[in-house]
């Protein structure tokens, strides 16, 4: 590793965020782990340190702009800079629209859209001052297709794609912007589905996932490119997924 970066990862307590933190720390980057489940963050940070890596943790609720600002500003205070923010935190409580689970719709919008915007708002001023930085958004193949029960979830991922692409078009070229759109990946996403029929259907749909580390490897690839190379989007899915 010749270019060690300070990398912030939201939603680092499980799934893609967890795998991304592990991989990047193993490659010599310092990772700053953010999530609500601080016990899991502490366990992850301990495993990273035991393996010779470097990590610190911060309780984070991406729906709270103050929490996200504190997450970013604390990292800058501790390390003098931030180089990358991986906006990974997301939820997917799928349901049919006629189930009218409006509280779940609101929560999905709050985490998947507002949480992303809060991450951009907190990190962008630091990147602009330094004249360098890298935003990575973990979206979904749901940003490119809609499936039954996925209307709200896919809408939030379309929005995440659009926001990230708009950011890429607006910022100075010194700031890189990448969207990573995973297909079926090992994760806890099905656990957030409250409708039994939908949960069972999704579990069957997700029978042959790829590992979360496959997505972590994509993040590593994107942030490891030379400064004049911006990987705009990566779509990664199992070979068996249409």
For residue range 61-93, list pLDDT tens digits in order. 999 999 999 999 999 999 999 999 999 999 999
Residue 1 domain flag: no
* 185 secondary structure, DSSP code: B
Could you give the residue ranges of the DSSP H alpha helices within the chain? 15-26, 38-50, 65-79, 102-109, 115-130, 151-170, 196-205, 212-223
Q: Is the pLDDT of residue 194 over 80?
A: no
Query: In angstroms, rounded to a whole number, what is the distance separating the alpha carbons of residues 21 and 47?
Result: 11
Residue 193 domain flag: yes
* Residues 98-134 pLDDT 10s: 999 999 999 999 999 999 999 999 999 999 999 999 9
Binned at pLDDT 50, 70 and 90, residue 56 comes out as: very high
Q: Contact at 8 Å (CB) between 80 and 69?
A: no
The whole domain housing 21 covers 6-235
CATH of the domain at 177: 3.40.50.720
Residue 58 domain flag: yes
Taking each helix axis as running N to C, give the angle between helix 38-50 and helix 15-26, from 0 to 180 degrees, rounded to the nearest 10: 20
Q: Is the pLDDT of residue 198 over 80?
A: no
Output the pLDDT for position 173.
Answer: 96
- pTM, full prediction: 0.94
Mean pLDDT of 40-53: 98
Exactly one of 153, 158, 205, 221 is catalytic; which is it? Answer: 153
Other residues' Cβ atoms within 10 Å of the Cβ of residue 15:
21
Task: Write the CB contacts of 45 (distance below 8 Å, at least 6 apart in sequence).
Answer: 33, 55, 56, 57
Residue 57 domain flag: yes
Query: In angstroms, rounded to a whole number, what is the distance separating the alpha carbons of residues 71 and 112?
Result: 17
Count of the separate structural domains present in the chain: 1
Q: Is the pLDDT of residue 1 over 50?
A: no
Residue 241 domain flag: no
* Residues 135-193 pLDDT 10s: 999 999 999 999 999 999 999 999 999 999 999 999 999 999 999 999 999 866 666 66
Task: Write the CB contacts of 150 (distance below 8 Å, at least 6 apart in sequence).
Answer: 92, 94, 142
**Residue 158 annotated among the catalytic residues of the structure:** no
Residue 50 domain flag: yes
């Amino acid at each position: 590793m010749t270019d060690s970066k300070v990398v912030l990862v939201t939603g680092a307590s499980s799934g893609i965020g967890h795998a991304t933190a592990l991989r990047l720390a193993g490659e010599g980057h310092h990772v700053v782990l953010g999530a609500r489940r601080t016990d899991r963050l502490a366990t992850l940070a301990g495993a990273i340190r035991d393996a010779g890596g470097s990590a610190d943790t911060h309780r984070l609720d991406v729906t709270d702009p103050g929490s996200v600002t504190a997450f970013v500003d604390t990292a800058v205070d501790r390390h003098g800079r931030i180089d990358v923010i991986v906006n990974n935190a997301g939820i997917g409580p799928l349901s049919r629209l006629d189930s009218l689970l409006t509280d779940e719709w609101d929560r999905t919008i709050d985490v998947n859209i507002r949480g992303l915007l809060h991450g951009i708002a907190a990190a962008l001023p630091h990147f602009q001052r330094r004249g360098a930085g890298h935003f990575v958004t973990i979206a979904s193949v749901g940003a490119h297709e809609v499936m039954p029960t996925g209307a709200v979830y896919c809408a939030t991922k379309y929005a995440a794609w659009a926001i990230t692409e708009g950011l890429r078009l607006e910022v100075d070229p010194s700031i890189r912007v990448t969207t990573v759109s995973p297909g079926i990946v090992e994760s806890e996403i099905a656990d957030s589905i409250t409708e039994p029929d939908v949960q069972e259907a999704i579990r069957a749909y997700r029978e042959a996932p790829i590992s979360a580390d496959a997505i972590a490897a994509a993040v590593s690839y994107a942030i490891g490119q030379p400064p004049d190379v911006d990987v705009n989007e990566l779509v990664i899915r199992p070979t068996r997924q249409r």
